Amino acid sequence: MQISELAGRAGVTVKAVRYYEQLGLVEPERLPNGYRDYGDEQLRAVVEIRDLAATGIPPGKAAPFIDCLGSGHARSDECPASVAAYRDGIAELDAAIAELEHRRAQLARRLAERDDSIPAPGLGCGCEVSSR
């Protein structure tokens, strides 16, 4: 199948398929005329990459999953490298959540320390706001 058909069947754009090719996740066959030819294996990989992205694993980190499919597994997360990628993704989220919680605590502390005699912006503090 041509790239446009693959993209349509997988629910992605042609640009996305080309990006997956650049990452080495999808490798089409080449016809004698030089055109790319995609099969069911590439379709399955593109669908998996799309599904992984929807769960928070970006295409740049999808290689262990695609390799797992390529080695004949029924699911992309049946290999140890895929499970490790899940764990890495969870660890990254945990770190981001911890950072956000820290920033929230800092903002809440600053708000609590604020002098209550100063009205909030827009509530008649007498401050002039320039519209420049």
Alpha helices in the chain (DSSP H): 3-10, 14-22, 40-54, 63-70, 80-113
Using a pLDDT cut of 70, give the percent of the chain over it.
86
pLDDT digits (tens, 9 = 90+) for 65-106: 999 999 999 999 999 999 999 999 999 999 999 999 999 999
Lowest average pLDDT, out of 5-9, 44-48, 78-82, 106-110, goes to 106-110
- Residue-level pLDDT at 9: 97
- Residue-level pLDDT at 53: 96
Burial string for 43-80 (b: 16+ CB within 10 Å, else e) reads: bebbebbbebbeeebebebbbbbbbbbeeeeeebbebe
Average pLDDT, the chain: 90
Does the pLDDT at position 4 exceed 90?
A: yes
DSSP letter at 85 equals H
Nearest to 1 by CA among 27, 40, 32: 40
21 with 55: CB under 8 angstroms? no
Q: Which of 111 and 95 is assigned the larger pLDDT?
A: 95
